[in-house]
């Protein structure tokens, strides 16, 4: 089981969620929204090789937390995983668009300087702008667009650029997303929960809920669920190897 985008530190009781993940053998990318959160979030998963903690600065917090870029720079050598980072073009975030751009550019610059990272990227209403930034830093690493909601054209551009995608159960309930998933390269896809932000019937999703995307993916790609599972694990392994090879 793979959850490549979860906010473990934001559950009311992170330890019990982590314990369950360990029991179920789930591979989790535990993302953070501020550099300040990284050390204690990383400590939660200490000694648990299937849980990796990504260093992030969420675009929605760019204005409020841009001063934490100094800490971001200090910590970047401690992890191969970066996120949640990116851009948000929604009306609530547009007022501090320039702060978002400054933060994302600096993040990508640091990723390039440290030899490339694996990045989980937020691109709500900003997929074209995210791609533009990524093109400016071709050595930043491997970009994974989490919960992609851009246009078909933006999706084609992202695929051409080499982006990966992480897909949660919520995407499978949208007809447009299902159409787009069909266009995605099978060898560049992973599952995610985006819990606890994402909810289903009033309850937050947990990392094990990422698995509910499997059946949907299998249906779209005319595979069995077990074939799907094997492919996703191969993808994860290839992604991990790409980091180790650096
Ligand atoms: Mn998220």
Q: 7: CA distance to ligand 1 center in Å?
A: 7
Q: What is the pLDDT of residues 118-163, one digit of tens each?
A: 999 999 999 999 999 999 999 999 999 999 999 999 999 999 999 9
% the chain with pLDDT above 70: 98
Dihedral of CA atoms 22, 23, 27, 29 in degrees, nearest 10, equals: -40
Q: 6: CA distance to ligand 1 center in Å?
A: 7
Q: Which residue has the higher pLDDT, 245 or 121?
A: 121
Q: 192: CA distance to ligand 1 center in Å?
A: 9
Whether residue 60 is predicted with pLDDT greater than 80 in this model: the reply is yes
Map out the domains of the chain with their CATH numbers. Answer: 2-244 (3.20.20.140)
Q: Which residue has the higher pLDDT, 245 or 170?
A: 170
Q: What is the pLDDT of residues 185-234, one digit of tens each?
A: 999 999 999 999 998 888 999 999 999 999 999 999 999 999 999 999 99
Confidence band (pLDDT; 50, 70, 90) for 243? low
Q: 84: CA distance to ligand 1 center in Å?
A: 6
Q: What is the pLDDT of residues 24-58, one digit of tens each?
A: 999 999 999 999 999 999 999 999 999 999 999 99
Q: 5: CA distance to ligand 1 center in Å?
A: 6
Classify each residue of 144-183 as buried b or exposed e, where b means 16 or more C-beta atoms within 10 Å of its C-beta: bbbbbbbeeebbebbbeeebbbbbbbbbbeeeebeebbee
d(CA 130, CA 178): 22
Count, residues in the chain = 246
pLDDT at 244: 47
Q: What are phi and psi of 81, to 5 degrees?
A: -120, 130
pLDDT at 246: 44
How high is the mean pLDDT of the chain?
A: 96
Q: 234: CA distance to ligand 1 center in Å?
A: 23
Whether residue 1 is predicted with pLDDT greater than 80 in this model: the reply is yes
Do 153 and 130 form a contact (C-beta atoms < 8 A)? no
Confidence band (pLDDT; 50, 70, 90) for 241? confident
Whether residue 245 is predicted with pLDDT greater than 80 in this model: the reply is no
Q: 204: CA distance to ligand 1 center in Å?
A: 13
Confidence band (pLDDT; 50, 70, 90) for 166? very high
Q: 193: CA distance to ligand 1 center in Å?
A: 9
Q: Which residues on adjacent β-strands are paired with residue 86?
A: 122
pLDDT at 171: 93
Q: 171: CA distance to ligand 1 center in Å?
A: 14
């Amino acid at each position: 089981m793979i959850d490549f985008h979860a906010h473990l530190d934001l559950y009311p009781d992170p330890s019990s969620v982590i314990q369950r993940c360990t029991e179920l053998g789930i591979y989790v990318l535990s993302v953070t929204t501020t550099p300040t959160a990284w050390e204690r979030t990383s400590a939660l998963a200490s000694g648990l090789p299937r849980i990796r903690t990504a260093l992030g600065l969420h675009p929605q917090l760019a204005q409020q937390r841009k001063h934490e870029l100094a800490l971001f720079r200090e910590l970047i050598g401690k992890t191969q995983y970066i996120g949640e980072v990116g851009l948000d073009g929604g009306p609530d975030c547009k007022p501090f668009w320039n702060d978002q751009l400054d933060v994302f550019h600096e993040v990508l610059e640091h990723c390039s300087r440290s030899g490339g990272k694996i990045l989980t990227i937020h691109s709500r209403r900003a997929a074209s702008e995210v791609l533009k930034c990524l093109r400016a830093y071709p050595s930043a690493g491997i970009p994974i667009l989490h919960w992609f909601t851009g246009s078909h054209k933006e999706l084609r551009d992202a695929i051409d650029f080499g982006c990966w995608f992480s897909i949660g159960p919520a995407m499978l309930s949208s007809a447009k997303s299902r159409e787009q998933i069909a266009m995605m390269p099978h060898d560049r896809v992973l599952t995610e929960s985006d819990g606890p932000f994402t909810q289903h019937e009033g309850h937050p999703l947990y990392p094990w809920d990422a698995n509910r995307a499997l059946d949907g993916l299998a249906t779209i790609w005319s595979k069995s669920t077990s074939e799907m599972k094997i492919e996703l694990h191969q993808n994860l392994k290839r992604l991990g190897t790409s980091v180790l090879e650096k």
